[in-house]
Structure 1
Amino acid sequence: MSKNVSDFFFAKNTVDEITTEETVQLNNYLQVTEAFSRVSYMSVYIIDYQNKNFEYVSDNPLFLCGYTADEVKEMGYNFYFKCVKKEDLELLLKINQLGFDFYEKIPASERKLYTISYDFHLLNKGRPVLINHKLTPLFLTESGKIWKAMCIVSLSTHTSSGNITIFKQGTNQFWSYDTRENCWRNESKVKLSERELDVLRYYAQGYTISEIADKIFVSSDTVKFYRRKLFEKMQVSNISEALSYVTSNKLL
């Protein structure tokens, strides 16, 4: 079955015309996006659902797969067909459908509060790299359709594609997609104690176990105990994965 750019767009979020009132939303937002990309050095791009293209692409090399930002911007959605691992292209199309189906059930006034996150492989010089992709609405039409969305790309902390989750800003709730049962499951974020957060903060600053023990006035064995409990709570296997998890889930 052949695939093309139109497969990423659905009638429920096809943006035909933009009113003058809706256009007012755009004042200076590209300059703000560029500034955010510069200070964070994050891989950022913006999707325009009316024109079905990429309106902005940052210079961070992670997403570019050897191309320049201008080349990726020019390719738009064709970039996915060139640079996404073949097995993951079907996954992307499915996630796109799932995301819009989910957003359609949310009150229009709340849609900007939601972010969808998932993992897939990009091919960088023929080598697959598993990345995490987060997408959140920037601007909506008056009817609540997503007009423009910001996407942020980072290295994934997982080992396989998928891992589809949706988060709502300001809440402890998230939804994960069960690919076996083909349904969304409402869950709650991991809750960490203040002492566990202290351990993570010091790890993030580069302190060793003994140095952390001195900082929080406990033994090294106690720090190891906290670390082990953190790994169990977050279902990760090392401190790098733990730090990535708490950052991605806005726990630290």
Structure 2
Amino acid sequence: MKVASYNIHKCRGLDGVTRPDRIIRVIRELDADLIALQEVDRRFGRRGGLLDPAAVRSETGLQLLVQSDVSHRHGWHGNALLVRGDPVSYRRSRLKLPGREPRGAIVAEIDLGDGEFRVIAAHLGLFRLSRVDQVDALMSAFHDLPPMPTILLGDFNEWRRWGRSALRGFEPTFGVAPSILSFPSRRPIFALDRILGWPAGLITDLAVHDTPLARRASDHLPLTAEANLEARMPAAQRAA
């Protein structure tokens, strides 16, 4: 299964123009089975969703799993999921994250036909201490849930690779977050976007999607990876 994470920057390209159609074309380029999106809603006013779900489905084959209870919005704190086709099963919850800014995460359990797995999708804050608390909150939520193959992905806003990196809280469970440069899209120098998996071996072939269109459509480049849902869970977890 191919998965991706993409901060669409409210569909505003590097030319300053808001072009949802351009974002949809990048999504079509990705050819992924599941995509976590960030910044899917407008920032001010009614904060309406920026993508046309019908256009997304007709042009990409992906369905927008709307996270908001408000009819004109798509995301939970800007986070939303796209999946290919109609899930066999789908359950979701939403997690408010601590910090100086309003932030949240999606926790979704999905079966696309090859077995059930969990997705935790988040957009972490701009302040390091907030990110540390947010990572702790995500790990606490993960450990409170029944064991299941889990994909953890999103824009984590952390450019530090060692030492003071807020992402060190993920390492005991998800391992070291690979640093793939994805921001800014024109000439990437920071690894802000990440895709991690549990158990070990779930996530492979991590790459940045770097095309001329992707470099124009948003200030982030998408990340892609392969998810192997047959990755072996630890024996104690399988027994549980």
**Shared fold, TM over 0.5:** no
Taking structure 2 as the reference length, what is the TM-score of the superposition?
A: 0.33
In our comparison, the structure showing a higher alpha carbon Rg is 1
User: Does 1 or 2 have the higher relative contact order (CA < 8 Å, sep 6+)?
Assistant: 2
